[in-house]
Amino acid sequence: MHPGIIFFLVILGSILFHIFTPWYWTDVASNWGGMDDTITLTFWIGGGVFVAVCLFMVYCVFKFSYKEDRKADYQPEDKKLEKILTWATTIGVVALLAPGLVIWNNYVNVPKNAIEVDVMAWQWGWQYRLPGEDGKLGTTQVVNVTDDNPFGINLDDPYGKDDVMIQSDILNLENNKPVKILLRSVDVLHNWYVPQFRAKMDAVPGIVTYYWFEPNKTGEFEVLCVEYCGVGHYAMRGGVIVQDKQDYSKWLNEQETFSDLIAKQQKINTDKTKLAKK
């Protein structure tokens, strides 16, 4: 069999695989559908180039196979052709880059009305904190973290007192409300990623990083850590539940604030002292 046939079948197989693949995107559940669109566009342009180049190669292999009595063409350069190809490629590249940069511009500019969520990562788990009624998160420091102060909130920061602390590795979000995820880590690199939301960013110890998205489908989603963080990396999962406004408000009212936690701890402490006195 002529090797060109096999190469041709490989190209054909690639196209068919792409058309009929059962392995593809999960349905997008956030505002970042534009990322999917750019990928589709890249598939058309890039895939087109791939198929064209490979088919041209296959054609050459058939047409110009070695014959004793034939001589190859001798033309070291073709300035015009090279120029055309350079410009065509440049145009293709610009066509891909432009939408990519537009979306990136959206990605780094967070809407003003986004709700801030403190996502704190550690080996190997997640915990979440929401701003209280003042709408602001209290400042934090790693050295403050104790059992009584799981987020390391600065005690002298008035914004911190009413912060809502979620006692679970599942975070609830309100549908169609933009969220700004503020990422922190107390130990190593992590990354808080929900495939359906498309967005991600590393959590880096020592600094606070961020990204934003707007969930647009209610439901339960799995959170994956996607920056390698040691042997427990693959098991570092969490969850997100996207709810309608009503359900979300109900859930939010059931959560504990930092002041609640301090009061509870004080009560336990006084009970303990009373018990000891008796």
Partner 1 sequence: MSEDFNNNKTIQAQSSETLTGGGGGGLTPDMDYVRPAEVTDQDLYHGHSFITKWVFCQDAKVIGVQYFLLATFTGVVGLILSWLMRLQLGFPGAAGFMTAEHYYQFVTMHGMIMVVYFLTALFLGGFGNYLIPLMVGARDMVFPYLNMVSFWSFFVAVAVLMASFFVPGGPTGAGWTLYPPQTILEGTPGSEYGILLMCLSLILFVAGFTMGGLNYLITVLQARTRGMTLMRMPLTVWGIFTATVLAMLAFPALLVGALMMSLDKVLGTSFFMPTILKAGEVLEYGGGSPILFQHLFWFFGHPEVYIVALPAFGIISDLISVHARKNIFGYRMMVWAIVGIGALSFFVWAHHMYVSGMNPWFGFFFATTTLIIAVPTAMKVYNWILTLWKGNIRMNTVMLWCLGFIVTFVNGGITGIFLGNVSVDVPLSDTYFVVAHFHMVMGIAPLMVIMGAIYHWFPLVAGRFLDEKLGKWHFWTTFLGAYSIYFPMHYLGFIGVPRRYFEMYDSPYMTSAVGMNEFISLAAFLVGAAQFILIYNIIKTLKTGKPAGKNPWKANSLEWLTPTVPPEHGNWGDRLPVVHRWPYDFSVPGAKEDYITQTTPPSEVVNTGVEKT
Cα-trace Rg, the chain: 28
Beta strands in 100-207 (DSSP E): 115-122, 125-130, 164-166, 170-174, 179-185, 190-193, 202-203
Contact between 217 and partner 1 per CB under 8 A: no
Cβ 145 to partner 1 shortest distance, Å: 6
- 26 versus 259: smaller Cβ distance to partner 1: 26
- The sign of the torsion formed by the CA atoms of 175, 177, 183, 184 equals negative
Enclosing H/E stretch for 212? strand 209-213
- By CB under 8 A, name the one of 60, 155, 263, 268 that touches partner 1: 60
- 97 versus 263: smaller Cβ distance to partner 1: 97
Residues 238 to 257 in contact with partner 1, rule: CB under 8 A: none
Contact between 93 and partner 1 per CB under 8 A: yes
- 72 versus 275: smaller Cβ distance to partner 1: 72
- By CB under 8 A, name the one of 19, 20, 80, 108 that touches partner 1: 108
Contact between 104 and partner 1 per CB under 8 A: yes
Residues 124 to 153 in contact with partner 1, rule: CB under 8 A: 142-143, 145
- 83 versus 250: smaller Cβ distance to partner 1: 83
Of 127-135, 174-182, 195-203, 247-255, the window that binds partner 1 (rule: CB under 8 A) is 195-203
Cβ 220 to partner 1 shortest distance, Å: 10
